[in-house]
Amino acid sequence: MCPVLRIVGGQPLEGELQVNGSKNAALPIIAATLLTDGEVRLKNVPDLVDVRVMLSLCRVSGMEFGYRGGDLIVRTGQIRECPTRPEAGSIRASILLAGPLLARCGHFQAPLPGGCSIGDRGIDFHIQALRMMGAQVAIGSDMIRVRTGGLHGAQVELPFPSVGATENIMMAATLAEGRTRILNAAREPEIVDLATFLNRMGAAVEGAGTSHIQIKGVEELKGAGHEVMPDRIEMGTLMAAGAITRGRLTLKRCPLNTDGEFFDKMAEMGIELSRRGSEIAVACEEHRPADIRTGPYPGFATDLQPIMAPLLSLADGESTIVEGVFDNRFNYVSELRKMGFRAEGDGRRQTIRGPTRLQGCNVVAPDIRGGASLIVAALGAEGVTNMASCQKVFRGYERIDQRLRSVGADIELMGEDDDLEG
């Protein structure tokens, strides 16, 4: 039986929740551990489907891993030069193995990366940069093969500040000969977290968090310890869940200094956030319309726009969401419409009309964040929502059903499935 997430809406969420480690920081950091034969100890790694897939891909390359006191312990003593497993096709982050594997053993071969269907997700920036650094790349209809006799530094100007390409180049450059410069680099907090980890291993990365990153290649990297940053997208999702139910949630272990435009928009939408260190209390008396435009950091995170849409539909008036990163990130709109959501537009822009009383019904999660959007909508809706394909949401949110239940949500996972596609 396929699993279904059953949510009865209308229960105010009250209490405390802890924000977990970031998926999008943990995935490149796990890939980066392949750069050393030393032992790496990682704290705060979320237990997610995508993380498990990444670990199983790394194991094929020779990584051994286990857990000690909740920390992930990783060592890749002897790297194995062999093709990555077919699961590489199920997650986008599999392309992040290219940089570390090329740097460590000069070879990377894998199925073309998959991931959420949120638009055209090319890997041309990655390929172009690796070529500039001395790699030979061959792409078939479903495979990519990359080889190098030795990487060297290069000056790479990205056409768009791609998160994954910035991470891949940074990792490849750590052991390359000479200096690499990344211009128009992505500035996301997850890039800073990866650079911090690389430097802890002995790399020489400067400028992470700005558009100009410099990496001086070193002879070798050593083992290190690192705590993965908290997940800012999970934080935003839990805030939206609290706000749509007009509950009172307190979120612990929120990331610091990673807000970008997000907090200003939340205030505009009537969501009151009071911050004390890494703890944030969330309250909402009135939903207000807003105009959101997503963009590379410090712009409003594209991963959070689907999650804000149900909140905007409750507000009295017209709101707009303009998507500035992907060309098909409104695939959740057709599912929300089944619940009464009113919006018009195209793949880049949607105009949302409110106020709407959302009604529970049967929906299907289109991807991680689209599924999270439907959960938020269902928590604020009247009646029962049954969400199919809910495993997609578990790719990015650890035990989300149990955690929301612990703060008063009427939510239950029915049935089982082991489908990893998304």
Residues with catalytic annotation? 116
As measured in angstroms, the least distance from the Cβ of 163 to ligand EPZ is: 4
The reply on whether position 189 binds ligand EPZ by CB under 6 A is no
Q: Closer to ligand EPZ at the Cβ: 210 or 274?
A: 210
The reply on whether position 187 binds ligand EPZ by CB under 6 A is no
- Residue 24: name the closest of 60, 50, 42 by CA: 50
Residue at token pair 């490149």: 28
**Which residue in the set 165, 203, 321, 411 belongs to the binding site for ligand EPZ (CB under 6 A)?**
165
DSSP readout, 408-421?
Answer: T-EEEEES------
Q: Say how far apart CA 174 and CA 410 lie, in whole Å.
A: 48
Structure tokens at 152: 């060297």
Q: Which amino acid is at 289?
A: P
Span from 76-84, 157-165, 202-210, 350-358 in contact with ligand EPZ (CB under 6 A): 157-165
Could you give the maximum distance between any two Cα atoms of the chain, in Å?
Answer: 62
Size of the site for ligand EPZ (CB under 6 A): 26
Binding-residue pattern over the window 17 to 36 for ligand EPZ, x denoting contact by CB under 6 A: -------x--x---------
Binding-residue pattern over the window 335 to 374 for ligand EPZ, x denoting contact by CB under 6 A: ---------------------------------xx-----
As measured in angstroms, the least distance from the Cβ of 162 to ligand EPZ is: 3
Within 96-155, which residues bind ligand EPZ (CB under 6 A)? 116, 119-126
Among left, alpha and beta (phi > 0; psi -120 to 50; other), residue 202 is left
**Which residue in the set 92, 104, 107, 265 belongs to the binding site for ligand EPZ (CB under 6 A)?**
92
DSSP code at position 230? B
Q: Which amino acid is at 232?
A: R
355 Cα distance to chain centroid: 30
Q: Say how far apart CA 381 and CA 73 lie, in whole Å.
A: 42
For residue 70, with 0-12 CB atoms within 10 Å meaning exposed, 13-18 middle and 19 or more buried, which class applies? exposed
Q: Closer to ligand EPZ at the Cβ: 196 or 245?
A: 196
Q: Closer to ligand EPZ at the Cβ: 270 or 330?
A: 330
As measured in angstroms, the least distance from the Cβ of 366 to ligand EPZ is: 11
Distances from the Cα of 168 to the Cα of 75, 123, 192, 313, 336, angstroms: 20, 11, 13, 38, 35
Structure tokens at 22: 């970031």
Within 201-260, which residues bind ligand EPZ (CB under 6 A)? none
Q: Closer to ligand EPZ at the Cβ: 170 or 315?
A: 170
Residues lying near ligand EPZ in the complex (CB under 6 A) are found at 24, 27, 92-93, 116, 119-126, 160, 162-165, 186, 302-303, 325-326, 368-369, 396
